[in-house]
Amino acid sequence: MFNALNGTGGGGQLDPTAGNNANTALYSTFVVFGILGGAIVNLCGVRWTIFGSGFTYALYSGSYIYLNHTGKSSFTIAAGAILGIGAGILWAAQGMIMVSYPREEQKGHYIAVFWIIFNLGGMLGGILPFAINYHSDKGSLVDGVYIAFVVLECLGAFLGLALAPPSKVTRDDGSSVVLVKYTNLGKETLEIIKLFINPLMLALLPMCFTSNFFYTYQFDNINGALFNVRTRGFNNIFYWGFQMVGSYAISFLLDYSGLGRKTRGYVAFAIVLVFFNAIWGGSLALHNKYPHGLTLENRIDFKESSRASGPIILYILCGVGDALYQTFAYWIIGALSNDNQLLARYIGFYKGMQSFGAAIAWQLDAKNVAPKNQLVANWVLFAISVPSMLYVVWSIKEHSENQNVRARAGSDLEKYTGDEADNKTDTAAAVN
Q: How far is CA 304 from CA 14, 227, 289, 309, 311, in A?
A: 21, 11, 17, 8, 11
Q: Name the burial class of residue 72, with classes exposed (0-12), middle (13-18) and buried (19+) by CB atoms within 10 angstroms of its CB.
A: exposed
pLDDT value at 422 more than 70: no
Residues 6+ apart with CB under 8 A from 88: 29, 30, 31, 32, 33, 34, 35, 36, 37, 348, 351, 352, 355
- Spatial separation of the C-alpha atoms in residues 232 and 239, rounded to whole Å: 10
pLDDT at 424: 41
pLDDT at 394: 92
Residue 135 phi, psi dihedral angles, 5° rounding:
-105, 10
Q: Name the burial class of residue 282, with classes exposed (0-12), middle (13-18) and buried (19+) by CB atoms within 10 angstroms of its CB.
A: middle
Contact 139, 229 (CB under 8 A): yes
pLDDT at 139: 57
Within 13 Å of residue 419, how many CA atoms lie on the same side as its CB? 23
pLDDT at 19: 81
Amino acid present at 104: E
pLDDT at 130: 77
pLDDT at 406: 36
pLDDT at 138: 59
Q: Name the burial class of residue 401, with classes exposed (0-12), middle (13-18) and buried (19+) by CB atoms within 10 angstroms of its CB.
A: exposed
Confidence of residue 426 (pLDDT cuts 50, 70, 90): very low
Share of the chain above pLDDT 70, in %: 87
CATH of the domain at 329: 1.20.1250.20
pLDDT tens figures, 46-61: 889 999 999 999 999 9
pLDDT at 182: 59
Amino acid present at 109: H
pLDDT at 413: 32
Residue ranges making up the domain that contains 254 = 2-431
Amino acid present at 198: N
Q: How many domains does the chain fold into?
A: 1
Considering only residues 73 and 282, tell me which one the structure prediction assigns the higher pLDDT: 282
pLDDT at 368: 87
Confidence of residue 172 (pLDDT cuts 50, 70, 90): confident
pLDDT at 191: 85
Q: Of the ranges 82-96, 177-191, 299-313, 377-391, which one carries the lowest mean pLDDT score? A: 177-191
391-398: average pLDDT: 89
Confidence of residue 408 (pLDDT cuts 50, 70, 90): very low
pLDDT value at 78 more than 90: yes
Q: Quote the mean pLDDT of the chain.
A: 84
Taking the CA atoms of 285, 9, 386 and 384 in sequence, report the sign of the dihedral they define: positive
Q: Under DSSP, is residue 251 helix (H, G, I), strand (E, B) or coil?
A: helix
Number of residues assigned to the chain = 432
Confidence of residue 254 (pLDDT cuts 50, 70, 90): very high
Confidence of residue 224 (pLDDT cuts 50, 70, 90): confident
Q: Under DSSP, is residue 300 helix (H, G, I), strand (E, B) or coil?
A: strand
Confidence of residue 341 (pLDDT cuts 50, 70, 90): confident
108-113: average pLDDT: 91
pLDDT at 269: 95
